Structure 1
Amino acid sequence: MTTLADPVPGGRPDDLMRVAGITADLAAQGVHGIVLAYVDTAGIARVKTIPTARLESAVAWGVGMSPVFDTFLADDSIVTTDVLGSPDGDLRLYPDLDQLVALAGQPGWAWAPVDRITQEGERHPGCARTFLRRIVADAAERHGLTFRAAVEVEWAFGLESAPRDGFVPAVSGPAYGAVRQVELSDCTAELLAAFAAQGVDVDQIHPEYAAGQFEISVGALDPVAAADRSVLVRQTIRAVAQRHGLRVSFAPAVSAEGVGNGGHLHLSCWRDRVNLHAGGEGRYGMTAGAESFVAGVLARLPALTAVTAPSPASYLRLKPSQWAGVFTAWGRETREAALRIVTGTAGRRDQDANLEVKPVDLAANPYLALGCVIAAGLDGMTASRPLPQEITGDPARYGPDEAAALGVQRLPVSLPQAVEEFRSDQVLRAALGPVLADAVTAVRLGEAAAVDGLDDAQVAAAYRWKY
């Protein structure tokens, strides 16, 4: 389990007792430096690094970094809000020792996610990881709920030898084909070995649909650890691929046409160690609470897209009839619905049943995405929101009148449209708090302005190697 307590200046006593042993163990493994990682509002993984010998100081007093990164765009330009985006101030980055791991994919380095607090020792209101920790802690305290979550990771392998800004797929075989697996068997075998050494349990890794595309599914954890794992998985894939002469892109749309890279969220609610998505009297074994949780997420999907699909390139991926989930619809194992009910196999449903949220890509900050989805679901549970009729097949087949009667609507088709939905959603804004909510709005509008006037191919190229 992830530590849910806030860091404190001087260090938490338990961490201070552990840190000397951890430092010695890392040194014995030949680890010379530690990557301190967090994800900014634009979804870019930002880092500072320290020598291993400085871990004790970082645990006690943190490492400095400017708060300006909360309003960085993917191209490293800066937008502002009333409180963020200036050159003033400093924050302290505190590594989470529970998630620190030696990087088998980057020998000589370890990795740890960080929480950011102010120099006065208070929560930084722009820290996405702190936001998710708070959402999870409040759900446990107020509702008696815990969660299990996982983030799917899709990416495209390209040749490092290709022109620097271009993309040449590293494999030539068909989608899901054995040819692709054979062509990259050395790289993917090394990935599996690295994940095993890092304690990441892999459910499956396989070729996917788009050119050069692969996917990995990993085991579920508490939401904060699941978001951490998503960042770690991508760091590992990128490092291992580089040693094999490959580049990787986790961008929502590597090319303007075709299927993009998703980052689907899987989430289940638990109370007293019982999965609320199985064994109930509702549809497909859901309890009444689970149905209302799903209904809460469904109701807020248009606004959620500003968080789960946060890049102009996201809207090149969010197209009908491409399994991206672009309509407000739910269904059991329905891959065109935005919300897919996964019941699991008979005999495993009490463990495996969960909700999959599909209109999510890997430009999304995973802490913000999971936190906002949970907040939407909790609002549905609190209101005992009814779950509407299930949809089967492709919702794109409905005419306007039939879709309206079923409550099926198209999700936003552009980032500015998603921002307008987000601005009017008081539940999500209240969950994030004004500082973080305003940062989301400013960064999204900044990204939209940055690509104004570009065609689809130029938008895809602008973000191809940012993620």
Structure 2
Amino acid sequence: MSEEKEDTGTPAEVERFLDRYPGLEYIEAFVTDINGIARGKRVPAAALARLYDKGLCLPASTLILDVWGNEVEASGLIFDTGDADHPCWPIAGTLQPLPWTEGRGGQLLLRMETPDTTPYHADPRNVLVGVAERFAARGQTPVIATELEFRLFEPEPAADGSPVPPTRLGRGGGSQLFGLDELDVMDAVFSEIDRACRAQGVPADTVIAEQSDGQYEVNLTHVGDPVAAADHAILLKRTIKAVARRHGLVASFMAKPFGDEAGNGLHVHASLLDRDGNNIFTDGERPTAALHHAVGGLMETMYDAAAVFAPHANSWRRFQVGAHVPMGPTWGFDNRTTAVRVPLSSPAATRVEHRVAGADANPYLAVAAILAGIDHGLANAVQPPPETKGSAFNQHAPGLPETWESALGAFGESAFVAEYFGEEYRRLFTVCKRQEQARFRRDVPRFEYESYLGAI
């Protein structure tokens, strides 16, 4: 806790915040769990300084709940430990307003530690911090930007339970990709999202209308701190969901809401600066060996990390040939059919765009897996396969795990994952996802009744 404090002993950040928002009633203080879901407590504004002095205690198991919020007994964090608490501490610079509460609420990101003050290995943010520290030790700075796709829906589903695109769009025949009319119709929503992002210090940039009704993409500008970039993605998702509710809509980052329509992705752009601020992926005119080694590392580790990029049952519906979703470890210059694209840019902006993850992925873990792949490639001088020119779908057989089951198997046995995420986090992620799998196996979808009930 190195932040400068006023004479009162209260962190200066807190003093400034309370002075700026005198009507503040509460703070939402939270950690982010394995599924990217915010979990924490509402704390009275009068008790804000206490969070910096004593932290906020939460059960260690909070970070390893399944997607429905159930405890994962196989984690060993429930009965084996007495469901013990761990202290969670404020992350400097993340005390921000909740703009949609009209001055009543604020929010604060937390990190979990063990009682002996070491970073707790089950916190996804700490996993990313550990990977980022490898680069910092060499004097290198990863520069990261994320792009998040999502869908807007009416609050009430159709009779069959499926979500309904916004009726205010006035059509059912498909969205216009990069269409401006689609943005104009939702101007009130996106204007409020933009204001809310600026109020929170979230560097939102362009907004794009995507291919399906009510589908959009918001881009975040690049920052020279990969952990902050993931923080921004978490806050952006919370913002979009909250603003959508205020406008009578539901925002979803589900990877594939409809089997025959475009899915939602999380694209991550990454470059790497040396101690002098030079981009090591270019010599000023052309790509360097470091870029090729980084790409080689991403190719070599993509299979093992697939469970992070596609962490849910629905995630795997997104991987369809011809659906603008990569099907294997491929790469190319300015080629959107590949898993890793080197975008058209000025030499100084040379970077990789990782296009595999769904929008349902945990941003901390997705960025950690990508940076780990880059580090693996640089450390081992991994040579990538030949660049793909033209359609990767037509030239390469699918090379990622075919199912959620096989992805979890690869993840759970991966030496690469153990090295960068830690053996214990590898185990915790696997047992949590196995619990989710078991529940899905017990569910009989409506389509199975329609297919088999009367025919067999």
Q: TM-score, normalised by structure 2?
A: 0.89
2:39 match: 46
Picking from 12, 15, 30, the partner of 2:2 is 12
Identity percentage of aligned residues: 25
2:431 match: 442
Return the alpha-carbon distance in structure 2 between the equivalents of residues 70 and 361 of structure 1: 21
Q: CA deviation at 1:133?
A: 1.4
1:236 match: 239
Greater RCO, 1 or 2 (C-alpha within 8 Å, sep 6+): 1
Q: CA deviation at 1:423?
A: 2.4
Deviating more after overlay: 418-427 vs 239-248: 418-427
1:373 match: 370
Letter in 1 for 2:260: E
Please state whether the residue corresponding to 2:40 is helix, strand or coil. strand
Return the alpha-carbon distance in structure 2 between the equivalents of residues 175 and 424 of structure 1: 43
Please state whether the residue corresponding to 2:164 is helix, strand or coil. coil
1:419 match: 408
Deviating more after overlay: 79-88 vs 218-227: 79-88
Please state whether the residue corresponding to 1:118 is helix, strand or coil. coil
Letter in 1 for 2:89: Y
Deviating more after overlay: 230-239 vs 105-114: 105-114
Verify: 1:92 aligned to 2:82, yes or no.
Answer: no
Matches within 5 A, 1:212-251: 212-221=214-223, 222-251=225-254
Change (3 A) 1:159 1:411: same
Q: CA deviation at 1:144?
A: 2.0
1:463 match: none
Verify: 1:207 aligned to 2:202, yes or no.
Answer: no
1:151 match: 146
Return the alpha-carbon distance in structure 1 between the equivalents of residues 406 and 447 of structure 2: 20
Runs of 4+ in 1 over 6 A off after TM superposition: 455-459
Change (3 A) 1:393 1:179: same
Please state whether the residue corresponding to 2:27 is helix, strand or coil. strand
Picking from 270, 278, 285, the partner of 2:282 is 278
Q: CA deviation at 1:35?
A: 1.7
Letter in 1 for 2:428: A
Contact 1:81 1:442 in 2 (8 A): yes
Please state whether the residue corresponding to 1:182 is helix, strand or coil. helix
1:25 match: 19
Matches within 5 A, 1:427-438: 427-438=416-427
Deviating more after overlay: 94-103 vs 165-174: 165-174
Please state whether the residue corresponding to 2:375 is helix, strand or coil. helix
Change (3 A) 1:276 1:454: farther
Q: CA deviation at 1:83?
A: 3.3
Letter in 1 for 2:143: R
Contact 2:95 2:108 in 1 (8 A): yes
**Structure 2, gaps ≥5 residues long:** 449-456
Picking from 100, 113, 116, the partner of 1:117 is 113
Deviations 1:163-211 (A, max 9, x none): 5954110133623233322221111122222222323333211211123
1:310 match: 311
Q: CA deviation at 1:230?
A: 0.5
Change (3 A) 1:240 1:258: same
* Count of aligned pairs between the two proteins: 432
1:83 match: 76
Change (3 A) 1:296 1:235: same
Change (3 A) 1:324 1:453: farther
Verify: 1:130 aligned to 2:101, yes or no.
Answer: no
Return the alpha-carbon distance in structure 2 between the equivalents of residues 121 and 458 of structure 1: 51
Q: CA deviation at 1:453?
A: 5.9
Q: CA deviation at 1:111?
A: 1.9
Change (3 A) 1:263 1:457: farther
Please state whether the residue corresponding to 2:76 is helix, strand or coil. coil
Return the alpha-carbon distance in structure 1 between the equivalents of residues 44 and 145 of structure 2: 31
Please state whether the residue corresponding to 2:266 is helix, strand or coil. coil
